[in-house]
Structure 1
């Protein structure tokens, strides 16, 4: 143990906590932004889900061994004779990455945590005169820089292709809802297959398809076909009867948990347990509600037509911001008044997950952009909410398993060097710091994630469940392809590229908010080298 640098390790740990918090407010928000923007989930629901999925990904599925230098971009020989310098360099890298993550989150830049850690390491390497891998080789700075352009473009193409199949085969057809009922089992099966392959190839605890102990290609194909067939059959026998009962026969008693009854729902009087109130008309959320009417639902008449006009929905209320809900009513009271204190506590604890991230723009520009996007049957859009939420959860678990261990690299480098007095290429990650980082991911999203959700949700183009689904699937497929080729790539970059691809599929330049898109990509290009 190198006692003279203990204080640096303590400060580095504080920097890691800040980095994990910023990671939650930025990278985690990217995973769920489309689900919030499409109204598939509310922000507070995402706050709860993100806390659980990121923690599970980090603790249950995350790697227990990480390289002390991500991708080997810095030559450790520079530090072997001076381990204390290694601790200092990694501490600087951790603080540099944390500073950039917190700054980017504050101003609404969607950035990659892994690339931030790499940029901070490059800065620390330059300052310590360590050799940096600049040439074109696996894990080199050149390859990583190239991925900044390749990854978004590839994801944009894949997401656009997925949305094109949905658009021309289902969404823009006159009989779009019957077509959607027939097609949704296929898309559910496709989603499950992609996610199964994602876990097989990407999770640190899985054998993968490359290197020693890798799965045989035949096994991977078998997994894909087996998952596809199983989910297709289950969706056809259980989910489709529920959809017909709820949205074709308009039975207000039907609830999502009745899906377990499967074919029994086809009866004239299905044996529903815990049925809903039959006096309440069946309704589906209006995913095209106008600004200020984010909680609208269609009436039975508009549901029959599949209308997507928020003006047809009655009783929609403007979203109440946290300041209006908890601070304004009590501002005339004394600061020590119990009611005012309780309101302030609720405000500071819940303000991050009670924000309006869908219709928050008051300038009218977002409404103009959204008006240029095509509108589709709300019932069809609703069918894709289930697949979109599941895919977002799985992407979040994968993020927790992968990016947390990657971002821990600088801290592990400093901690292991301090503990052993030696500089090593790999080190075991203490479980306690994984637990702390996993919890801070959820905390970061809970308090700061809304800023990135606003940027990625509806600020660029109109977001709906079908569009959000295409974005998430395009990102997942691009990450899978890059993994198979051994290329460094970022999930955040792929999600941003997918957003661009689906936005362009509106085939109307007015349906894209170009200034926001430039800002997102501009934020991604700003490396954390300057912070380190």
Structure 2
């Protein structure tokens, strides 16, 4: 008996020791993971510099191009770590996609969008904010672009560390503006362009939030709150999927494929209408088959929205890659062209090797550092399910179309996050409305204490305030940092 007790104590001690070793391994893995990510990122940045050396090694300006390629690769990594989460966060938060699936889809479609439809979108970044002619010397313009690249990358990196999804477009715009002012004064800046960008600070999240909330209200009123939810879903889900397909067809025509074909707003809307009607008709028998045997409850409805949500996330990633790759390599392309041809008076085009740096940098940044920001967007602002996340994705496409019609520049980051906030605040309003209705029906129902009501808020106010503050200071912070970096570089070089 004593021998058995001794053996049992020995086994307990062994279990505790194994448990300690297991915890130690988990802690070591948690510490090593970011170090591995930083190491892989460093290798990628070095390869970007080597690629630049391969193409410009025999020219007198090779060192500048290598430095610019390194800065561009660093910016692309930060775009992947921060910006891509806006497309994938809602789908992951709604559990329509696993983290691994989201990263794989985003990496493929971001790279495809950048390489297939990236085109010459760099013109605004390179010339629309600050006129190169106003800066004068070629070397001064190159230093301004270098400062813009590094400052915007540093700012996005800082925002990622504090968990704030910011607009990489606004970051690079602020960087170019700050360096341009430091190089040639306030007159060098195109203040009309800057005014439109400032208007988009308010317009993007507001439009995204209102459209997402409106579609969530429609889904709740027409499907969720109906007695026979499945019968209502058979009628309205094909319509909603058709609207989504049409919106994304127009969105891709405007924001992605316009770099391959000449597409006006009218043509994009016609394409969207045709695609939307076709998908609506095709989805009617599909939804009927999917809904067979489903129980009449909200959980069953999630099945019908899962696949459209995954497709929408992939399409958003394609359009994002086609447009936002310019934030990483636009200044790099301008530097390459300025040093190669002696100016940027013509259209600024991205060489293939430069585009590859941007595309692969975004994918690496997403894979290595994106999961944290995806979780913040998908789960920590407000709780999402496939229906709510669908509304966020749809609002992103529709907001871009509305903004294009109005002729106003918008940020895809602000739209997506605004959609998440819009869904969350609508849920708060709807819950409060139903609570008031219940009190009218049952007057004696006990009321919640004010502290409990605040605790039950469906949008986390701390994340809301952090994100809004980061949005407001993105352009001025990137501009100030860029101006300081430019002055430092000019003092060293000239």
Please tell me the TM-score bracket, short chain as reference: 0.7 to 0.9
Deviations 1:260-312 (A, max 9, x none): xxxxxxxxxxxxxxxxxxxxxxxxxxxxxxxxxxxxxxxxxxxx463xxxxxx
CA contact (8 A) 1:68 1:410 kept: no
Q: 2:249 aligns to what? A: 196
Q: Which of residues 442, 449, 458 in structure 2 aligns to 1:511?
A: 458
Q: CA deviation at 1:170?
A: 0.8
Deviations 1:127-176 (A, max 9, x none): 21244566763xx2122112101211111111111111001111122322
Q: CA deviation at 1:216?
A: 7.9
Q: Which of residues 1, 25, 32 in structure 1 aligns to 2:81?
A: 25
CA contact (8 A) 2:131 2:189 kept: no
Q: 2:285 aligns to what? A: 237
Q: 2:469 aligns to what? A: 522
Q: 1:173 aligns to what? A: 226
Q: Is 1:74 aligned to 2:130, yes or no?
A: yes
Q: CA deviation at 1:221?
A: 4.9
Q: Which of residues 455, 458, 461 in structure 1 aligns to 2:382?
A: 461
CA contact (8 A) 2:200 2:409 kept: yes
Q: 2:37 aligns to what? A: none
Q: Is 1:183 aligned to 2:236, yes or no?
A: yes
Q: Is 1:102 aligned to 2:157, yes or no?
A: yes
CA contact (8 A) 1:475 1:495 kept: yes
Q: 1:384 to 1:67 in 2, by over 3 A?
A: same
Q: CA deviation at 1:425?
A: 4.8
- Please give the residue correspondences for 1:258-269 in structure 2 after superposition, counting only pairs within 5 Å: none
Q: 2:91 aligns to what? A: 35
Name the CA distance, whole Å, in 2 between partners of 1:436 and 1:207.
20
Which structure 1 segments of 5+ residues have no match? 249-303, 307-376
Which structure 2 segments of 5+ residues have no match? 1-55, 433-453, 483-494
CA contact (8 A) 1:110 1:492 kept: yes
Name the CA distance, whole Å, in 2 between partners of 1:149 and 1:504.
17
Name the CA distance, whole Å, in 1 between partners of 2:414 and 2:93.
18
Q: 1:489 aligns to what? A: 410
- Secondary structure of the residue aligned to 1:63 is coil
Q: CA deviation at 1:83?
A: 0.5
More helix by share: 2
Q: CA deviation at 1:29?
A: 1.2
CA contact (8 A) 1:122 1:529 kept: yes
Q: 2:310 aligns to what? A: 389
Q: 1:432 aligns to what? A: 353
Give the structure, 1 or 2, with the largest relative contact order (CA under 8 Å, sep 6 or more): 1
Name the CA distance, whole Å, in 2 between partners of 1:526 and 1:216.
32
Deviations 1:345-402 (A, max 9, x none): xxxxxxxxxxxxxxxxxxxxxxxxxxxxxxxx11112211111111111111000011
Deviations 1:182-202 (A, max 9, x none): 221111111110011112222
Q: 1:157 to 1:129 in 2, by over 3 A?
A: same
- Secondary structure of the residue aligned to 2:348 is strand
- Secondary structure of the residue aligned to 2:175 is helix
Deviations 1:293-344 (A, max 9, x none): xxxxxxxxxxx463xxxxxxxxxxxxxxxxxxxxxxxxxxxxxxxxxxxxxx
Aligned residues: 397
Q: Which of residues 52, 62, 74 in structure 2 aligns to 1:6?
A: 62
TM-score (norm 1): 0.71
Name the CA distance, whole Å, in 2 between partners of 1:13 and 1:128.
22
Q: 1:171 to 1:71 in 2, by over 3 A?
A: farther
Q: 1:426 to 1:222 in 2, by over 3 A?
A: closer
Name the CA distance, whole Å, in 2 between partners of 1:134 and 1:148.
19
CA contact (8 A) 1:59 1:438 kept: yes
- Please give the residue correspondences for 1:434-453 in structure 2 after superposition, counting only pairs within 5 Å: 434-453=355-374
Q: 1:71 to 1:460 in 2, by over 3 A?
A: farther
Name the CA distance, whole Å, in 1 between partners of 2:348 and 2:265.
29
- Secondary structure of the residue aligned to 2:97 is coil
Greater CA drift, 168-177 or 436-445: 168-177
Q: 1:126 to 1:51 in 2, by over 3 A?
A: same
Greater CA drift, 177-186 or 21-30: 177-186
Q: 1:4 to 1:432 in 2, by over 3 A?
A: closer
- Please give the residue correspondences for 1:236-315 in structure 2 after superposition, counting only pairs within 5 Å: 236-244=284-292, 247-248=293-294, 304=295, 306=297
CA contact (8 A) 1:68 1:426 kept: no
Name the CA distance, whole Å, in 2 between partners of 1:475 and 1:65.
20
- Secondary structure of the residue aligned to 2:122 is strand
Name the CA distance, whole Å, in 2 between partners of 1:428 and 1:459.
39
Q: 2:173 aligns to what? A: 118
- Secondary structure of the residue aligned to 1:511 is coil
Name the CA distance, whole Å, in 1 between partners of 2:222 and 2:333.
50
Q: 1:158 aligns to what? A: 211
Q: CA deviation at 1:421?
A: 2.4
TM-score (norm 2): 0.76
Q: Which of residues 322, 347, 358 in structure 2 aligns to 1:401?
A: 322
Name the CA distance, whole Å, in 1 between partners of 2:150 and 2:221.
49
Greater CA drift, 61-70 or 387-396: 61-70
CA contact (8 A) 1:68 1:412 kept: no
Q: CA deviation at 1:487?
A: 1.1
Q: Which of residues 461, 472, 477 in structure 1 aligns to 2:393?
A: 472
CA contact (8 A) 2:256 2:318 kept: no
Larger of the two Rg values belongs to structure: 2
